[in-house]
Amino acid sequence: MRSHYSPDPKEMNLSEPVKIRLRDNGPMVIEGGVEITDADGNAFPTNPDKPVVALCRCGATKNRPFCDGAHNQCGFEAADRAPTE
């Protein structure tokens, strides 16, 4: 059994783009089949039954690169908006 989520390209619906959503004052939430690796190419373990991951943007997590909710206590503020025009 694999210890991390690694999407099988044959099972991926490539017509649906991976969605990355920036939460206000919080993490970057990635929805879709992705593999997150370190600089050496080794994959971080993720839950294969839940193809949604939240990556820390505040730098305060104790579970890098994932969000552990620490943004709620560190005063992180970010409410980035994409251009609407």
Among 58, 65, 75, 80, binds ligand FES (CB under 6 A): 58
DSSP secondary structure string for all residues of 17-45: --EEEEPTTS-EEEESS---B-TTSPBPP
Q: How far is the CB of 29 from ligand FES (least distance, A)?
A: 10
Side-chain half-sphere CA neighbours of 82 within 13 A: 6
Spell out, one character per residue from 18 to 57, where the chain touches ligand FES: x when CB under 6 A holds, - when not. Answer: --------xx----------------------------xx
Residue 43 sits at φ, ψ, to 5 deg, of -80, 140
Rule CB under 6 A: which residues touch ligand FES? Answer: 26-27, 56-58, 60-61, 67-71
